[in-house]
């Protein structure tokens, strides 16, 4: 957990800051841009390098999916932090950058940017809540699935996408559950 270690180097315990996530974006908030950017780069490389070195780039099959999902799963279930790691977003970008020469990670970034603008517009410029952030991350990955299918890449990358979507949903399960509870109450009140 590079970001967690960088946080300790900056004299910040990321488990005690913000939502307690030991990832790069919480490091950015806690220790500033210099440490945060280093955390983002290191987490990105955690996904990018193994996939680049250990796969042939065709994305076909369970072996490639296993190699691609291992860094994300290792980040989310870090044995260094008693299997309570980060959210896996920067690692996900690294994995998809390696698998598709940045095509899918760029598509994911565009989807997340559009969702961020939409959420800010819906809240009159206020920052989204952690529940809305989780909805953007997981919903954005679902949109990536549609992108893969439209590009004809779904068969080759289907296992990786499915596993990655499930891992992100698991990592954001608390926030998604809170969002669903609020949405359900709102819907019940409208009926």
Domain count, the chain: 1
Prediction pTM value: 0.89
> Rounded to whole angstroms, how far apart are CA atoms 58 and 139?
25
Question: What is the pLDDT at residue 39?
Answer: 93
Is the pLDDT at 183 greater than 60? The verdict is yes
Question: What is the pLDDT at residue 68?
Answer: 94
- Runs of H (alpha helix) within the chain: 2-9, 24-31, 33-54, 61-76, 89-100, 103-122, 130-150, 154-171, 173-190
Query: pLDDT for 70-88, tens place per residue?
Result: 999 999 999 888 888 889 9
Is the pLDDT at 191 greater than 60? The verdict is no
> Rounded to whole angstroms, how far apart are CA atoms 44 and 116?
21
Task: List CB contacts of 37: < 8 A, sequence separation 6 or more.
Answer: 28
Residue 57's domain comprises 2-190
Query: pLDDT for 9-43, tens place per residue?
Result: 999 888 887 777 888 888 888 898 999 999 999 99
**In the chain, what percentage of residues exceed pLDDT 70?**
96
Question: What is the pLDDT at residue 59?
Answer: 62
Is the pLDDT at 184 greater than 90? The verdict is no
DSSP symbol at 15: G
Query: pLDDT for 88-113, tens place per residue?
Result: 999 999 999 999 999 999 999 999 99
How many Cα atoms occupy the beta-carbon half-sphere of 110 within 13 Å? Answer: 9
């Amino acid at each position: 957990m590079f970001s967690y270690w960088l946080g300790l180097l900056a004299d910040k315990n990321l488990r005690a800051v913000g939502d307690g996530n030991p990832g790069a974006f919480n490091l950015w908030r806690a220790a500033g841009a210099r440490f945060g950017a280093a955390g983002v780069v290191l987490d990105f490389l955690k996904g990018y390098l193994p996939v680049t070195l250990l796969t042939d780039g065709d994305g076909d099959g369970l072996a490639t999916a296993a190699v691609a999902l291992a860094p994300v799963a290792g980040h989310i279930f870090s044995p260094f932090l008693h299997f309570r790691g980060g959210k896996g977003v920067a690692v996900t970008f690294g994995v998809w950058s390696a698998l598709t020469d940045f095509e899918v990670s760029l598509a994911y970034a565009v989807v997340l940017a559009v969702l961020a603008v939409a959420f800010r517009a819906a809240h009159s410029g206020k920052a989204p809540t952690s529940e809305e952030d989780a909805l953007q991350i997981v919903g954005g990955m679902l949109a990536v699935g549609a992108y893969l299918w439209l590009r004809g890449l779904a068969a080759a990358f289907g296992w990786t996408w499915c596993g990655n979507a499930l891992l992100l949903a698991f990592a954001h399960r608390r926030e998604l559950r809170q969002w669903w509870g609020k949405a359900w109450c709102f819907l019940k009140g409208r009926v």
